[in-house]
Amino acid sequence: MKIIRSAKQFQKTLERERGRGRTIGFVPTMGALHAGHLALVHEAIKKNDITAVSIFVNPAQFGPNEDFNKYPRVLNQDARLLRRAGVNYLFYPAVEEIYPEGCSFSVKLDSEAGFAKGLCGRFRPGHFEGVATVVAKLFNLSGACRAYFGAKDYQQTVVIRNLVKDLLLPVQIVVRPTVREKDGLAMSSRNRYLNSDERKRAAVIYQALSGLKYCLENPSSSRLNLKVLKKQAVAHLEREGLVVQYFEIVDAETLLPAGELRAQMVAAAACFCGKTRLIDNAIIRIPQKQRTGKTNQR
Ligand code: AMP
């Protein structure tokens, strides 16, 4: 595996690979890699001739009071994992490679875009513009045929699909399922901030989401009111001492609040467990015949 630090060199190297007729699979990350990242990497390796991974803690997607400075940076450990997995190129740029001095342009997101307004978009102003900007730049550098993202960051996947559609970017977006710990906690680089008591309690996020998913997908309980189910889930989280930033049931495509049962919905949550902010979601699929008994959220 070759580690490349220069943006120009990364672009030239992958251009050369494409020139030889090879397909490029690309996995953008912020490092501190775990099995969730590696599942994306394995899928990229399986489906493409060449796999490139980036590790870049993107300052533009962190708010002023967020964890940019303390975000874990463990390059040697990450490089070992990627080399063992069979990755061809690791792109590990300094901030100035991605945001050179005098850089004037960035990706702007319409403040009215429904898919970005709610959920994390509501509590992390500027976050998705930061994500869209860096992802557009990384796509331009990698010239990827396919790029791999995790469903754990569900809203991010919707933002990126819309970015690719609106900017006509020639890349196929592949979204893979969330990889979890044994107790259901979604793997995240931020889990390492949790102390052992917080780590135990954090599993309640998965329990609350999967309990709600079960109630909605189980025909005998599908007439339950969405608002009531949401309240129960929030109470479940709070009983374990988590502070809920948001808990929403939204349409899986528009990410607008689902007032009634839809074919595909997402229950998404952001909670503080101690000082650590964790997010997770559950995709809820309801067959047509079950949707006839409508239920209201508000
Ligand atoms: P990050 O390093 O947190 O920016 O994540 C890089 C990519 O890995 C994103 O597409 C994430 O959605 C994905 N990812 C993070 N955690 C998981 C997980 N537990 N399962 C699957 N994908 C994940």
Average pLDDT over residues 119-143: 98
Where does 182-298 have alpha helices with state H?
196-201, 204-217, 226-239, 288-291
Atom 10 of ligand 1, nearest CA residue: 149
Q: Could you give the residue ranges of the DSSP H alpha helices within 29-126?
A: 35-47, 75-85, 95-98, 114-117, 119-123
Positions of E strands within the chain: 2-4, 24-29, 50-55, 89-91, 146-150, 172-176, 243-251, 264-273, 276-285
pLDDT beyond 50 at 151: yes
* Per-residue pLDDT tens digits for 219-278: 675 567 899 999 999 999 999 999 999 999 999 999 999 988 889 999 999 999 999 999
Please give the average per-residue pLDDT across 200-208, as a whole number. Answer: 98
- 288 vs 205: CA distance, rounded Å: 28
Give the contacts of 82 (CB within 8 A, at least 6 positions apart): 1, 33, 41, 53, 90
Residue 245 phi, psi (nearest 5)? -80, -45
> Distance between CA atoms of 162 and 156, rounded to whole angstroms?
10
Taking the centre of ligand 1 as the mean of its atom positions, its distance from the CA of residue 104, in whole angstroms, is 29
Q: Give distance in angstroms: CA of 74 to centre of ligand 1.
A: 16
Q: Measured from the CA of 37, which atom of ligand 1 is nearest?
A: 8
Which residues are catalytically annotated? 37
- Give residue 169's pLDDT band: very low, low, confident or very high (50, 70, 90): very high
The percent of residues in the chain predicted with pLDDT above 90, rounded, is 91
| Per-residue pLDDT at 298 | 43
Q: What residues have CB less than 8 Å from 227, skipping those under 6 apart?
A: 296, 297, 298
**The pLDDT of residue 294 is above 70:** no
Q: Is the CB of 152 under 6 A from ligand 1?
A: yes
∠ CA 29-33-36, rounded to 5°: 85
Characterize the bridge pairing of strands 24-29 and 146-150: parallel
Q: What is the pLDDT of residue 287?
A: 80
